Amino acid sequence: MKKNILIIGGGPAGMEAAANLDRLGYNVILIEKDKQLGGHLAKWDRLFPDGVSAKKTLDALTAELSGVKCFTETNIQSINVLDKSYNAILSNGITVLADAVLMASGFDLFKAEKKEEYGYGIYDGVMTNADLEKAFREKTLPSKAPKAIGFVHCVGSRDEKAGNPACSKVCCATAVKQACEIKEVYPDADVYCFYMDLRMFGRHYEDLYLKAQKEYGIRFIRGRVSEVAETMDNRLLVKAEDTLSSKPLKVTLDMLVLMAGMRPSEAGRSVGRQLNLTTEDDGFFSSSDNMLAIQKSKLPGFFYAGACTGAKTLPDTLHEARSAALEIDRYVKDNFKEQ
């Protein structure tokens, strides 16, 4: 008889793990709280560093799911541990008896309005990275070209007061990518990136940074934006320190994009609380071993994949999903020997 695997979260991690477990011969139940699968990927336009289409990437992930039972707009109502399995009651009334569970709850974007000094939700010209992706996707950028545009790195990241001392890992590359893209739309605009450190760690990321400087003329200012105010003519007065010259700096912009960072998914954490899953200080789930077994939780038969154990890039998330599928396969074979 096929073993049941429950996957919580239908973003890239959940989808990739589901496809792999399906191919390994398991009965996979994938649940997603939103209307559609794909998580944040479904809301994005293009992906760093090469600008590949988010939609094409998502379509490729979706194409592998034909054998998987997907329930969208579905939450975990309750979940508890039985002798050797997990009993989950879903919000659609279905009860799942799973031999293993994979948590792929991912992340929530940091709520940029919490950084009140940046004026998100107060001034019209202030938006988040997700808002800008939506505007790229739906082609709803203003037709009146802005004269100057700014990007603020580390919004809700590396910020103890905002409750998140960690780096969100993907925002640097996202900001530089978006800065280039906005310059393509508005070639005459001055584009500034306000950064603390540029963490261009991945393959081709440094090329992206160089391209932003050389081909797009993006100006990088090392310093965190301290405050944003509105001018008489509804523009944005932005203040920061240029820490490379140790001088305060001001500039008037028409558009300011806040790079909201990654926070643990609230939906995922509420499932975690039901099973007393532990989290680390950063709020993300704690693995049984951060070096050797990041996909394993401290509960037997309960696994993790993707950003539910900390900020990750999309390729990292997909790798983890595949390795979690293998870990689950190994766990089931070791623990449920067929007669």
Partner 1 sequence: MIDFGFTVSPSSRINLDEVDKKSFVALSKIEPDVVKCMACGSCSASCTVSQFQPTSVRKAILSLQNGQISQAMDFLKHCMLCGKCTMVCPRGINTRHLIISIQKIYGK
Shortest separation between residue 309's beta carbon and partner 1, angstroms: 32
Q: Is 72 exposed, middle or buried (0-12, 13-18, 19+ CB in 10 A)?
A: middle
**122 interacts with partner 1 by CB under 8 A:** no
Shortest separation between residue 239's beta carbon and partner 1, angstroms: 9
**25 interacts with partner 1 by CB under 8 A:** no
Shortest separation between residue 127's beta carbon and partner 1, angstroms: 20
Shortest separation between residue 144's beta carbon and partner 1, angstroms: 19
Per this entry, what is the length of the chain?
A: 339
Phi and psi (nearest 5°) for 86? -120, 135
Shortest separation between residue 190's beta carbon and partner 1, angstroms: 8
- Looking at the Cβ atoms of 53 and 252, the one nearer to partner 1 is 252
Find the binding residues for partner 1 in span 219-248 (CB under 8 A).
Answer: 219-220, 222, 242, 244-245, 247-248
Shortest separation between residue 244's beta carbon and partner 1, angstroms: 5
Judge whether 20 and 110 are in contact, CB under 8 Å: no
Q: By C-alpha distance, which of 99, 37, 30, 41 is closest to 67?
A: 30
CA 142 to chain centroid, in Å, comes to 26
| Terminal-residue alpha carbon distance, the chain | 11
- Looking at the Cβ atoms of 144 and 247, the one nearer to partner 1 is 247
Find the binding residues for partner 1 in span 161-220 (CB under 8 A).
Answer: 190, 192, 209-210, 213-214, 217, 219-220
- Looking at the Cβ atoms of 215 and 289, the one nearer to partner 1 is 215
Positive/negative CA dihedral, 259, 14, 42, 207: positive
The tokens of 282 are what? Answer: 């950063």
**326 interacts with partner 1 by CB under 8 A:** no
Judge whether 141 and 246 are in contact, CB under 8 Å: no
**118 interacts with partner 1 by CB under 8 A:** no
E strand or H helix that includes residue 332: helix 314-335
Query: Strand runs (DSSP E) across 235-284, as ranges?
Result: 236-242, 247-253, 255-260, 262-264
Provide the mask over 247-276, with x wherever binding to partner 1 is found by CB under 8 A and - wherever it is not.
Answer: xxxxxx------------------------
Name the region of 135 (left: φ>0; alpha: ψ -120 to 50; beta: rest).
alpha
**142 interacts with partner 1 by CB under 8 A:** no
Shortest separation between residue 169's beta carbon and partner 1, angstroms: 20
List of residues contacting partner 1 (CB under 8 A): 190, 192, 209-210, 213-214, 217, 219-220, 222, 242, 244-245, 247-252
